[in-house]
Amino acid sequence: MKARGRSSSSGVDLHGKKILLIVTGGIAAYKSAHLVRLLVRSGGEVRVVLTASASEFVTPLTFEVLSGNPVPAGLFAPRSEPGVRHVELATWAQRILVAPATADFLAKAAHGLADDLASTVLLAARCPVILAPAMNEGMWQNPAVRRNIDVLRGDGKHFIEPGSGALACGESGSGRMAEPEEIVRTLLSSFEPGDLAGVRFLISAGRTEEDIDPVRYLSNRSSGRMGFALAAEAKRRGAHITLVHGPVDVEPPDVDACTRVRNAARMKAALSKAFPRCNVLIMAAAVADFTPVTRADAKIRRVEGNLSLELKPTPDILAILGARKKKEQVVVGFALETGGGGRFANEKARRKACDYLVLNRVGERTGFSVETNQISVFKDGRKVLATGIVSKEEAAAAIIGQLAADVRLRRMKR
Ligand code: CTP
């Protein structure tokens, strides 16, 4: 973002918004001074809490001058100060930002520890909390840190993933705090949850299972995470969500209607029924491409020699619904990239009449059954979005953000 963090693309700014910034002890704390500046410039009323180690990096005075508000010295207020300091701050704030959030602070927050003002305010918080972690790459990848992040996500906390680049330890890698401009952008968008209000999304997720006999089936490794993250993000932005999902490894998010199916034929039936009433179809499900020609009624017994299984193609749901699409409907398909790249993506988008095609990279940390992804989005033969390796939630936010800007959706919202 080149702009100085004044307002979001939809014109929201921070006037009248109360932001509590918690700065914890990492070198990225120097960037938090700039962050306060951007928040104040965007119209926000900002109060800052520093942990003891944060004030080793940047003094409270810096934040007092930039925010125009006193920085409290600790958990215990002098008797002359009215109210209970941590409760007063927690009820005052409309958003709590933690930037940088150190590994230590994440661990404390995940376990509900409250031994200083910062951790106590967080525990007393009633508003959305957004954390921007910063640490060395080894720490960022550490299973203990990942566990704490999962716990905090499960508690409804939002994360702004760190970026990659030079780290203070001299190494280069992921763990670098997101730039202040990106943090402001995320904060602004958190104040516009209703920007997709009135838009009806139909989203498929998970895998399908194609029965061979009563005990065996053909399937794939899709976990359902990507489709669910898309549904959660569109819901967060106010859209009406109908979810149709196959078998998955995770709990579906809270949406307006949710149908569970097992195989491609059932998924086609459920989606076909809901499709005419939707504004946007996102086919994130990994539908099996083939299904057995016949399903044996009894368990197939072991035989001498090889056994051949005759398969037939499943209905291509995306292509079928893409062909039925009305002009004002938006259809989004997914493709798995194993090396081919954009050329195949564009060909697939044309063949299946998709407005957008999301290319999913398959790798060790991307694609099926992992929690991160690397995606590119194609529209009219052009790449309009590409992410690095990010969490599926981040990828979903990028995809939904792209769709929200689609002129047809903008018209629907009016
Ligand atoms: N899809 C579908 N019905 C099918 C198979 C796939 O609707 N029977 C949808 C998927 O939900 C996804 C897209 O089509 O949106 C994926 O297309 P597919 O041709 O399966 O692509 P890839 O998985 O990328 O692989 P390949 O082209 O190699 O088959």
Tens-place pLDDT, residues 221-269 = 999 999 999 999 999 888 999 999 999 999 898 888 999 999 999 999 9
Q: What's the pLDDT at 4?
A: 43
d(CA 409, CA 98): 33
Q: 285 in ligand 1 pocket by Cβ < 6 Å?
A: yes
Q: Which of 182, 144, 148 shows the shortest CA–CA distance to 165?
A: 182
> Is the CB–ligand 1 distance for residue 333 below 6 Å?
yes
- The rounded distance, in Å, linking the Cα atoms of 409 and 287 is 26
**Residue 374 Cα to ligand 1 middle (Å):** 18
Q: For residue 287, how far is its CA from the centre of ligand 1 (angstroms)?
A: 7
How many CB atoms are located within 10 Å of the residue 364 CB?
Answer: 8
Torsion of CA 201, 128, 158, 179, to 10 degrees: 110
> Atom 18 of ligand 1 has which residue's CA nearest to it?
335
3-class state of residue 341 by DSSP: coil
* C-alpha dist (Å) from residue 199 to 196, 244, 276, 327, 408: 6, 17, 13, 15, 10
Residues whose CB is less than 8 angstroms from the CB of residue 304 and which lie 6 or more positions away in sequence, other chains included: none
**According to the model, what pLDDT value does residue 341 have?**
64
Q: How far apart are CA 120 and CA 46, in angstroms?
A: 18
Ligand 1 center to residue 236 CA distance, Å? Answer: 27
Question: Rounded to the nearest whole angstrom, what is the distance from the C-alpha of residue 350 to the centroid of ligand 1?
Answer: 13
> What is the Cα gyration radius of the chain?
24
The pLDDT score that the predictor gives to residue 5 is: 46
| CA 346 – ligand 1 centroid, Å | 13
Compute the distance between CA of residue 207 and CA of residue 227 in angstroms, rounded to an integer.
10
Probe residue for ligand 1, chosen from 336, 337, 360 as the CB with the greatest number of ligand atoms within 8 Å: 336
Q: Which two tokens stand for residue 313?
A: 């193609």
First to last CA, the chain: 26
How far apart are alpha carbons 233 and 307 in whole angstroms? 45
Q: Atom 17 in ligand 1: which residue has the minimum CA distance?
A: 335
Let me know how long the chain is: 414
Question: Which residue has the least CA distance to atom 4 on ligand 1?
Answer: 316
The pLDDT of residue 1: 33
DSSP 295: -
Out of 283, 355, 358, mutate this one to test ligand 1's pocket (max ligand atoms within 8 Å of CB): namely 283
Predicted TM-score of the model (pTM)? 0.61
Which domains does the chain show, CATH number per domain? 18-191 (3.40.50.1950), 200-412 (3.40.50.10300)
- Picking from 309, 328, 211, the residue whose alpha carbon sits closest to that of residue 266 is 211
**CA-closest residue to ligand 1 atom 28:** 336
Structure tokens at 122: 């967080």
Question: Best mutation site among 204, 317, 356, 399 for ligand 1, i.e. most ligand atoms within 8 A of its Cβ?
Answer: 317
How far is it, in rounded angstroms, from Cα 210 to Cα 219?
7
The closest alpha carbon to 174, from 155, 146, 152, belongs to 146
Q: Which residue, 97, 305, 321, is CA-closest to 204?
A: 321
CA of 254 to the centre of ligand 1 (A): 26
Distance 201 CA to ligand 1 centre (A): 19
Neighbours of 297 (CB within 10 A): 7
Q: What is the SS3 assignment for 179-205?
A: CHHHHHHHHHHHCCCCCCCCCEEEEEE
* CA-proximal residue: ligand 1, atom 8 (nearest): 316
Q: Report whether 106 contacts 148 (CB < 8 A).
A: yes
pLDDT digits (tens, 9 = 90+) for 397-412: 999 999 998 866 666 6
State whether residue 209 is helix, strand or coil. Answer: coil
Residue (of 377, 372, 405) closest to 226 by Cα position: 372
- Joined together, the tokens standing for residue 123 give 């525990």
**pLDDT digit string (tens) for the chain, length 414 residues:** 333 445 655 566 899 999 999 999 999 999 999 999 999 999 999 999 999 999 999 999 999 999 999 999 877 766 666 667 788 899 999 999 999 999 999 999 999 999 999 999 999 998 889 999 999 989 999 999 999 998 888 777 888 989 877 777 777 777 899 999 999 998 998 887 678 888 999 999 999 999 999 999 999 999 999 999 999 999 988 899 999 999 999 989 888 899 999 999 999 999 999 999 999 999 999 999 999 999 999 999 998 999 999 999 999 999 999 999 999 999 999 998 766 567 778 888 899 999 999 998 877 767 776 778 889 999 988 889 888 888 888 899 999 999 998 866 666 654
Instruction: Determine if ligand 1 sits within 6 Å of the CB of residue 314.
Output: yes
244 Cβ inside 6 Å of ligand 1: no
**Residues 314, 288 contacting (CB under 8 angstroms):** yes
Q: 283 CB less than 6 Å from ligand 1? A: yes
Residue of 218, 287, 311, 321 to mutate, ligand 1, most atoms within 8 A of C-beta: 287
Quote the pLDDT of residue 12: 66
Cis peptide before 100 (omega within 30 of 0): yes
Pairing of strands 158-159, 210-213: unpaired
Asked if 390 contacts 373 with a C-beta cutoff of 8 angstroms, the reply is yes
* 275 in contact with ligand 1, CB cutoff 6 A: no
Within a 10 A sphere around the Cβ of 310, how many other Cβ atoms? 8
Distance of CA 216 to the CA centre of its chain: 34
Catalytic (active-site) positions: 169
Q: How open is the CA angle 77-79-83, to the nearest 5 degrees? A: 65
Structure token pair of residue 328: 């004002």
Q: Nearest residue CA, atom 21 of ligand 1?
A: 335
Two structure tokens written together for 42 = 């965007």
